A and B are shown apart, each in its own frame.
Chain A
Amino acid sequence: DTGVSQNPRHKITKRGQNVTFRCDPISEHNRLYWYRQTLGQGPEFLTYFQNEAQLEKSRLLSDRFSAERPKGSFSTLEIQRTEQGDSAMYLCASSTRDRGPVGEQYFGPGTRLTVT
């Protein structure tokens, strides 16, 4: 399977704990995105990488959130001191330049976070 993979698929944690999610994009894709999706809502953009450079961050991304893509391949999203409001599905997507500035995004299955 050469699609976008995310691990873990589910994470239950207690409030105040730190969690880290991993995303492995499609291998030749240089762009990687993180989104958050809550029930009944569309995905909300969190951050975007081109290769290893984090080029954009949403204002939704508080200081407790940090994302990395150290070698321009996989990426991690860490949430420190989790709060119940962080409970959501965290989606990763990757793309490549596709005859223009905006390429099709391929989404992973997501990591569902539950903060108790």
Chain B
Amino acid sequence: DIQMTQSPSSVSASVGDRVTITCRASQAISTWLAWYQQKPGKAPKVLIYAASSLQSGVPSRFSGSGSGTDFTLTISSLQPEDFATYYCQQANSFPLTFGGGTKVEIK
């Protein structure tokens, strides 16, 4: 199985900050990677798929990059509604696997 490792597990940031979350796969997955945002008590919402493609309706302050084993989600200017937990997920092969999550908290 492909293991997904996210870092950091949590980050404290202020509105307007640039936030970067990294995700590493235990083996190469090309660009078969998605990023999700989850708020408390809600279902996850896809932000990025194919490593860098922005899902329709998602603000352009979210961006993704990377290929192979190393990936990054960047929020260019953190907004109040962005405080949430973010998960990466490999879509390369079954079983599909998620990273452990990164909680973005208010500083």
Physical interaction between A and B? no
